[in-house]
Amino acid sequence: MLEFLDNSGGGPVLEVEGLSERARITLATFLASSWTQGGTRYAVRSPYNIRAFPGTALEAVGHPKVDRVLEVLRWRAGVADYLSDVWDVMEEPELDVFECGAISRFLDPASSAGICHVCLTEFAPDKLNVYDHGCLLLAHVQAKWPVVPKRFLRRNAMLMKGKKWWQFWK
């Protein structure tokens, strides 16, 4: 995959809709097994639980151990969370929605019907939501998310009691 993304040899570039130059760089960065100090600092400060690809998982021969599989699934879940959110900002996004979609096509299964978008486990339609099946990777994805303000929690509690949205701001 890294060879596909690297066009330093000047050969033909396979066109993938939405896979712009910055999307290629971002995907190559996520697939790299080590990051620069700047990339690592960005990841540490980021609300997304992102990190370099766990290269040790590729060293497994034969049947991979569960901890190596979970390591890759956690890496992928962090990237998927980043891609689902990074384009939805007020100012210029790091990536736009089409670029995020193009990157996601390389990380998602060919057929995702009935599969949790976070843990890649198959569930019945009524259990696909991460909260409905108690997704095992959700805590990892949310580990660095900011704490929800108490005012927001109160507002949601009021919603559950049938209050109107404009009553929240009083």
Using one digit for the tens of pLDDT, what is the confidence trace for 134-147? 998 989 888 988 88
d(CA 25, CA 5): 8
Tell which phi-psi region holds residue 10, choosing left (phi > 0), alpha (psi between -120 and 50) or beta: left
Helix (H, G, I), strand (E, B) or coil at 33: coil
What's the DSSP call for residue 166?
Answer: G
- pLDDT, tens digit, for every residue of 25-83? 899 899 999 999 999 999 999 999 999 999 887 776 667 688 888 899 999 999 999 99
Helix/strand/coil for 13: coil
Q: Which of 37-46, 87-96, 108-117 has the highest mean pLDDT?
A: 37-46
SS3 per-residue string spanning 83-134: HHHCCCCCCCCCCCHHHHHHHHHHHCCCCCCCECCCCCCECCHHHCCCCCCC
> To 5 degrees, how large is the angle CA 16–CA 48–CA 129?
80
What residue ranges do the domains of the chain occupy? Answer: 2-169
Report helix, strand and coil shares of the chain as percent, to nearest 5. Answer: 50, 0, 50
Q: Classify residue 81 by its DSSP letter.
A: H
Q: What is the length of the chain? A: 170
Whole-model pTM above 0.85?
A: no
Contacts of 27 (CB under 8 A, 6+ apart): 1, 5, 19, 103, 106
> What pLDDT, on the 0 to 100 scale, is given for residue 69?
85
Cα–Cα distance measured from residue 137 to residue 115, given in angstroms and rounded to the nearest whole number: 14
* CA separation for the pair 79, 104 (Å, rounded): 9
Q: How far apart are alpha carbons 170 and 166 in whole angstroms?
A: 8
Residue the block writes with tokens 């049947």: 63
